[in-house]
Amino acid sequence: MNLLSGLFTKGISVIFEFIGNFSVQDMCNGYFDEPEVPQELIDLHRN
């Protein structure tokens, strides 16, 4: 019984580890590497 619960816990841990490692990778980094700030916002900051 202890072996079965250990395998079950290990399986759940592997699933959550995979989800955690996958969520760390940000898919939007290639698109939003250097976002452009609108000129209106730059002018507001200077005043």
Domain boundaries, the chain: 2-46
The predicted-structure confidence for 5-29, as pLDDT tens digits, reads as follows: 999 999 999 999 998 887 766 666 5
Note the pLDDT of residue 32.
Answer: 60
What amino acid is encoded at 27 in this protein? M
Note the pLDDT of residue 38.
Answer: 78
pTM exceeds 0.85:
no
Give the integer Cα–Cα distance in Å for 7 and 36: 50
Q: Is 30 helix (H, G, I), strand (E, B) or coil?
A: coil
Note the pLDDT of residue 14.
Answer: 95
26: alpha, beta or left? (left if phi > 0; alpha if psi -120 to 50): beta
Note the pLDDT of residue 2.
Answer: 87
Check pLDDT > 60 for residue 33. Answer: no
What amino acid is encoded at 25 in this protein? Q
